[in-house]
Amino acid sequence: MPASPSTARAINDRLALRLLQDQGPLTAGQLKDLTGLSRPTVADLVERLQDSGLVRVVGEAGAERRGPNARLYGIVADRAHLAALDVRTTSVSVVVTDLLGATLAEASLPMEGHSDGPALERAVAVLERTVERAGVRRLHSVGIGAPGLIDPATGELRDSASLPAWHRRLVPALQERLHARVLVENETNLAAVAELREGAARDRDTFVLLWLGHGVGAAVLLDGRLRRGASGGAGEIGFLPVPGTGSLPSATGCAGGFHALAGSSAIRALAGEYGVEHAPGDEGGEPAGAVAVRAALAAGADDFLDALADRLALGAAAVSAVLDPGCVVLGGEAGHAGGPGLAARVETRLAALSPLRTEVRAGALGGAAVLRGALLTVRDAAQDELFGPSR
């Protein structure tokens, strides 16, 4: 059944806006060539998009030629302003951007040693100050990356004894103070989105990201889509029972699970067993495990790196056996610090544990992937609202 005229116009407008976002600014002639639409249709859609305030003339093409020049059209980037936050137990990082993602201001703030009330106020205040410094009057949307489970029914951060209470109170506090739409997503899922769109997995639509930061986690992408599970807990690999921990995890703690082998403190302890040292204060907010991996690489501590690869291969083998993703990305600060060398070690051991061919790659974005993923997610949501949903 052919699309109605209004539906066809909406589809054409959305196509043009995506082209202007990815390749703009563009002339009407370039839009005609890229869309395959007729010249009158392109002229109509350009007029509609200008009338709606989404597109404007930003210059002229062919200024070196004699005669009239074609107008260049671009998206009105200041039509909406966005913010993204990476909210951890020890820190908050924030970035404020325009609709196209250009950074206007950014900041970070340590959160250790603050009780829930002061921590919540500090988190809200650092965003408000960053918005003010960016010269923005009002935010359209805010994206938050946080540890913990996201309730698939409500989209809210679920109650967890392992997380500070201010994490759960942050979303309503921001909605009240900023009057903006606030979206929250698990930090590991957002890191996977960033690695998919801009990092180590750009050529993959199916992979698992193994997060190696302060804690451990996994994000599952199948056919280009995040899979969160029935309760939002897909990828809680820290609770995975594995050999070498001496005990089993429980419903209230993952001390006997994979976390006990691959969490930041476990990696640092393993490094100490192999004599890998780093100067006190080297962390500077970076997980100790990542600092230990970097120190080991600098010192040529192959024995430690081999032992760490043995541990990581256990988690990767379990993921491979259940999901057969074909690719595991070692994300987070420690995965990024280990680079291709650690990834190659893990891949070799994984090949010995599983008959399923699984490539192992180092994450390209490290800890910055959470903030980047939050921004990409909130930008997509804002553009869907302003441009009209994808069809």
Assigned domain for 192 exists: no
Assigned domain for 337 exists: yes
Between β-strands 141-146 and 216-222, what pairing exists: parallel, antiparallel or unpaired?
unpaired
242 and 318 in a single domain? The answer is: yes
Contact (Cβ atoms closer than 8 angstroms) between residue 260 and residue 239? no
Q: Which residue has the higher pLDDT, 391 or 326?
A: 326
pLDDT band, residue 94 (cuts 50/70/90):
very high
Residue 189 CA to chain centroid, in angstroms? 7
109 and 29 in a single domain? The answer is: no
CATH number at residue 37: 1.10.10.10
296 and 331 in a single domain? The answer is: yes
252 and 294 in a single domain? The answer is: yes
90 and 167 in a single domain? The answer is: yes
The mean pLDDT value of the chain amounts to: 89
147 and 216 in a single domain? The answer is: no
- pLDDT tens digit string along 204-262? 999 999 999 988 999 999 999 999 988 888 999 999 999 988 888 888 888 889 999 99
Assigned domain for 193 exists: no
**Looking at 18-32, 146-160, 303-317, which range is the least confident one?**
146-160
Start-to-end C-alpha separation, the chain? 15
Judged against a pLDDT cut of 70, whether residue 161 lies above it is answered with no
pTM: predicted TM-score of the whole model, two decimal places: 0.89
Last residue of a domain, one of 75, 102, 126: 75
Q: Which residue has the higher pLDDT, 314 or 64?
A: 314
219 and 332 in a single domain? The answer is: yes
Residues 2-41, buried b or exposed e (16+ Cβ, 10 A)? eeeeeeebbebbbbbbeebbeebbbbbebbbebeebeeeb
- pLDDT tens digit string along 268-314? 999 999 999 875 545 557 899 999 999 999 999 999 999 999 999 99
Judged against a pLDDT cut of 90, whether residue 154 lies above it is answered with no
Judged against a pLDDT cut of 70, whether residue 37 lies above it is answered with yes
Assigned domain for 110 exists: yes
What single letter denotes the amino acid at residue 268?
A: R
256 and 273 in a single domain? The answer is: yes
For residue 19, give the 3-state DSSP assignment. helix
pLDDT value at residue 391: 40
177 and 303 in a single domain? The answer is: no
**Structural domain span for residue 28:** 5-75
205 and 317 in a single domain? The answer is: yes
Residues 88 and 124: their CA atoms lie apart, in Å, by: 14
Q: Is the Cα torsion angle 316, 322, 326, 329 positive or negative in sign?
A: negative
Could you write out the DSSP letters of every residue in 186-233?
EHHHHHHHHHHHHSTTTT-SSEEEEEESSSEEEEEEETTEE---TTS-
CB atoms within 10 A of CB 94: 25
Judged against a pLDDT cut of 60, whether residue 1 lies above it is answered with no
Vertex 188: Cα angle to 187 and 191 (nearest 5): 90
CA-based nearest residue to 212, from 164, 145, 258: 258
Average pLDDT over residues 14-25: 86
Q: Based on the structure, what is the number of domains in the chain?
A: 3
219 and 270 in a single domain? The answer is: yes
232 and 343 in a single domain? The answer is: yes
Residues 163 and 116: their CA atoms lie apart, in Å, by: 11
What single letter denotes the amino acid at residue 211?
A: W
Judged against a pLDDT cut of 50, whether residue 133 lies above it is answered with yes
pLDDT value at residue 66: 45
Judged against a pLDDT cut of 70, whether residue 160 lies above it is answered with no
Assigned domain for 96 exists: yes
CATH number at residue 99: 3.30.420.40
Q: Which residue has the higher pLDDT, 94 or 162?
A: 94
Residues 34 and 250: their CA atoms lie apart, in Å, by: 55
Element (H, E) at 139: none
Judged against a pLDDT cut of 90, whether residue 131 lies above it is answered with yes
What single letter denotes the amino acid at residue 232?
A: G
Residues 370 and 145: their CA atoms lie apart, in Å, by: 6
Contact (Cβ atoms closer than 8 angstroms) between residue 137 and residue 125? no
pLDDT value at residue 67: 40
Judged against a pLDDT cut of 90, whether residue 151 lies above it is answered with no
Assigned domain for 291 exists: yes
Last residue of a domain, one of 75, 90, 112: 75
